[in-house]
Amino acid sequence: MARGKRGLGRLVLILGLALGSAGPGATRSEPVVEPLTVLSWGGAYERAQARALFAPFTEATGIPVRVARYDGGLSALRAAVAERDPPWDVLDMTRSQAMAACDEGLLEPLPADIAAPAPDGTPAEEDFIDEAFGPCSLTHSVFATVVAYRTDAFPGRRPTRIADLFDQRRFPGPRALQRTPSVNLEWALLSYGVPRQELYRLLSTRRGLSLALERLAGLEDLRWWEAGSAPPELLIQGEVVMASGYNGRFFDAMVNRDAPIAILWDGQVQEHETWAIPRHAPHPEAARAFIRFATATERQAALTRYIPYGPSRHSAARRVATHADTGLDMRLHIPTHPLNAERAVTKDEAWYARTRERIGDYFRAALFPDDATTTD
């Protein structure tokens, strides 16, 4: 860890220079430092961020971090930017939301040199995974929506393919899926055996869409969930035997609550989670400094000691080690590990950014003909 400490020290120095202040000591001596407000997702995810990112940032810069909860939608951001007074400095949002928000002009463009180079000097553009840099956002980690199942539900067999989610003859029992078209449509069409490379091209046809919706409509005993914390609960309580959900939440349930569940990695849908800065943010300078700090190799690797999200830097992915509290090998639990990612789907966010409303309409019309309140 000595090496880590030294790296951190250097980082702090860089940050201090970037902020134009005389370093951590100087900042600390100032009487009032306005806190930086980060909008994040709560739960185990936020706890991990607090330990790996927020506390070290405050320690390094003296800037306290305040966390606000994010509901996933753009309406609050839209309203706040229209008022020219958003209460947040940094947003933790999915890339598809970031792209949509950027198109609407709700986000500050990020400077090209926002990310620090890797510890060995590799430039950031080479060290980050493909398409990590957006005009207004920077991918910091990759998370996956996966299917988890109760390990005691199917004696003598276990699901191995995403098609098993829809095979209620071999894998009987209730299911829980998120009440959104995304991910569900992908899995439904994958279950017909289409190659994942062609998924969005085929979902773009009337035929593909109706095949997928038919498959979803054919599921019996289906529960729809909306809050990310719901699927582990439903599985633990035995209300469903298979549920979709975020891999980090399932990991948390397995490790911290000994839940008898396992993850089906086949067909996992990967998404980029990004940092962004809202337009008219109160402290844009500090926000940029925070993003630079939080996306440094050291911090990304540290985050994977608390929550199994794939780092967006190759240099950080190589440093993934064990879980901080249990000593579990985290490499097996991050979505981007080669074993888990073999048949992963990368969510086509450009596609969703342009089709969200229409796809949502089709989804509602096919599965919820009676109400029109489904959010996406």
Partner 1 sequence: MTRADAGDPSHHGARGVVRFLGLVVLGAVIGGLAALAAVTFVAAVLWLNDLLLVSPRGRMMFAHPEWLAVATVLVPAAGGLVVGQLHRAIPERRPHTPADVIAAVQTRRGRLPPKAGALSALSGLVSLGAGASVGQYGPLVHMGASLGSAGARLLRLGRSEDNITIACGVSAAIATAFNAPLAGIVFAHEVVLRHYALRAFAPVAAAALVGHVIATNVLARGALFHVADPALPRPWEFAAFLAIGGVGALVAGAYMRAILGVGRLARRLPVAAPWRPALAGATLGVVALWVPDILGMGQETLRFATIAGAFGSVELVVVLALKLAATALCLGMGFGGGVFSPALVIGTLFGALCGTLVATLTGAQDTFVFYAICGMVAVTAPVIGAPLTSLLIVFELTGSYALTTAALASVTLASPIAAQLFGRSLFDIQLAGRGLDLSSGRGRAVLEDARLADLMSREGVTLRPETPVDEAVVTPGGAGHGEAYVVDATGRYRASVTLADLEVMREEGRGDHPVSGCPRTPRPVLGPDASVWEAMRHLQEVTGEAIAVVDEDDVFLGVVFEATIAQAFLRYSDELRREEHGTG
Query: Least separation, in Å, of the C-beta of 208 and partner 1?
Result: 7
Q: Which of 156, 195, 338, 369 binds partner 1 (CB under 8 A)?
A: 195
Beta strands 242-246 and 137-150 are: antiparallel
- Minimum CB separation of residue 349 from partner 1 in Å reads 12
Q: Of 21, 58, 122, 204, which lies in the binding site for partner 1, with binding defined by CB under 8 A?
A: 204
Minimum distance of partner 1 from residue 195's CB (angstroms):
4
Among the listed ranges 70-78, 113-121, 268-276, 347-355, the one in contact with partner 1 (CB under 8 A) is 347-355
Question: How far is 55 from 72, CA to CA, in rounded Å?
Answer: 24
Q: Which stretch binds partner 1 (CB under 8 A): 117-125, 187-195, 258-266, 299-307?
A: 187-195
Strands of the chain, DSSP E:
36-40, 65-69, 90-94, 137-150, 175-178, 222-225, 242-246, 261-276, 310-311, 345-346
Report if residue 169 touches partner 1, rule: CB under 8 A: no
Which 3 state secondary structure label does DSSP give 349? helix
CB of 242 to partner 1, least distance (A): 21
Q: Contact between 205 and partner 1 (CB under 8 A)?
A: yes
φ, ψ at 338 (rounded to 5°): -50, -40
Q: Smallest Cα–Cα separation from 140: which of 249, 297, 330, 345? A: 297
**Nearest residue (CB) to partner 1, 201 versus 318:** 201
CB of 192 or CB of 368, closer to partner 1: 192
The answer to whether residues 346 and 144 touch, using CB atoms and an 8 Å cutoff, is no
Provide the 8-state DSSP code for 376.
Answer: -
Choose, by CB under 8 A, the member of 47, 83, 358, 375 that binds partner 1: 358
**For residues 118 and 269, which CB has a smaller minimum distance to partner 1 in the complex?**
269
Q: Could you tell me the smallest distance in angstroms from the CB atom of residue 359 to partner 1?
A: 8
DSSP secondary structure letters along 11-25:
HHHHHHHHHTSS-HH
Least Å from the CB of residue 227 to partner 1: 29
Q: State the Cα–Cα distance between residues 148 and 69, nearest whole angstrom.
A: 25
Site of interaction with partner 1 (CB under 8 A) = 192-198, 200-208, 211, 350-351, 354-355, 357-358
